[in-house]
Copies of this chain bind each other. A is one copy, B any other.
Amino acid sequence: MAYQVTQSDLEAIALGGAFLGTGGGGDPYIGKLMARQAIAEHGPVTVIAADEVADDTLCVPVFMMGAPTVMLEKLPSGDEILKALAELETFLGKKAGALICVEAGGLNSTIPFMVAAATGLPLIDGDGMGRAFPELQMVTFTMHGIASSPMVVADDKGNSALMSTISNLWTERLARVVAVQMGGAALVAAFPMNGADMKKALLHGTMTTIRDIGNTILSERKASRHPGAALRAMTGGAHLFTGRVVDVQRATEGGFARGKLTLRGIDDFAGQEFLVHFQNEFLLAETATGAPICMTPDLICALDADMGLPVTTEQMRYGMTVEFSAIPADPQWHTPAGLELAGPKYFGYDHEFRPFTTGERA
């Protein structure tokens, strides 16, 4: 069922996106500001269920691509992504009738609201990941044979590139280096698809889930409760561990923010040490001895242990206490095709995928 999103919903959407963004998907504060300004100027955004979209409607995902570390210091103006969308429409000779959110994330699930407000297009209730992943081809759209190209990458300076590629992996390779040259991050309109294909390939309901998660975070905090337990109850999640960050290794390389956190367990997990590896997103949580406790494509979600707010990879600092939860990924990600796209082996981790466990409790 369709509903309206106004400025007052954006706080929850940015928080919920950041939680499901598993450390990536961009900073929630920036995304919220961008969407808020656009809604203030153009009015509320209509979120519609996938089933409400006609089969021949052109549906276009819009998103930012690049290292979140860069996005923090290089704010998009909003014009770039509208330009990317317009160039894609010109190339296709058809106007978009609905927008799609490519992933859950603080920035990438709020940017589509900005584009929707500015264009007057509805935003479909769903996404292509149900979480955030670092690479462009890691979407259910790929599993359903939807090509990422033609695709337009645009920057803040006025440059753009329209890609036509033989596979979604090739789009990722070419667009990633272009995004790096464009300053480390770029705005993208890609995966154009008709309504019929969208209904098959989309993970339905994600935008509503994001909003509900965000509202839970807000209401639990208002009631002076840490939202972790309530969020796990909503999502079928588990408490992996709570720990204090004792080391952050971080590098922006190849257009990604890569690194590793070391955490010392506290409370129930005192005496244990944990490692969390990331490439834009948290991808693998291990014990200090290298035994995996949660791995991609399952979600590794971080909340500040004191404040109860989502923590992105680039916000991680020495001394923070963080509560890590695991949430099972959409079942499509557990299929052989899903694991090939975004399983631990793809990222170079020498583990066969297994469902998550939790840290041992004292």
Contact = CB atoms under 8 A, between A and B. Distances in A.
Contacts of A166: 157-159
A317 to B, nearest CB: 32
Interface string A154-180: 000111111111100010011001101
Nearest to A178: B174
Contacts of A87: 164
Interface in A70-106: 87, 91
Interface residues of A, number: 20
Contacts of A174: 159, 161, 178, 181-182
Contact of A159 (B160, B163, B177, B182): B163
Nearest to A166: B158
A177 B181 contact: yes
Interface in A103-127: none
Interface in A304-330: none
Q: What's the number of copies of this chain in the assembled complex?
A: 2
Interface string A15-46: 00000000000000000000000000000000
Q: Which of A160, A161, A163, A165 lies at the interface centre, i.e. has the most chain B CB atoms within 10 A of its CB?
A: A161
A157 B180 contact: no
B159 A161 contact: no
Contacts of A180: 177
Nearest to A157: B166
A161 B160 contact: no
A289 B200 CA distance: 70
A164 B173 contact: no
A181 B255 CA distance: 14
Interface string A169-208: 0100110011011100000000000000000000000000
Contact of A173 (B91, B160, B165, B181): B181
A164 B161 contact: yes
B160 A160 contact: no
Interface in A47-69: none
A352 to B, nearest CB: 30
A84 to B, nearest CB: 11
A165 B159 contact: yes
Contact of A163 (B161, B170, B173): B161
A226 to B, nearest CB: 45
A160 B164 contact: yes
A178 B182 CA distance: 12
A160 B157 contact: no
A181 to B, nearest CB: 5
A161 B162 contact: yes
Contacts of A158: 165-166
A80 to B, nearest CB: 12
Rank and list the top 7 A-B pairs by shortest CB-CB distance, nearest first: A177-B177, A162-B162, A158-B166, A159-B165, A160-B164, A161-B161, A161-B163
Given A157-B166, A161-B178, A173-B181, 14 more contacts: A159-B163, A159-B166, A159-B174, A160-B163, A160-B164, A160-B165, A161-B161, A161-B162, A161-B163, A162-B163, A174-B182, A177-B178, A177-B180, A178-B178
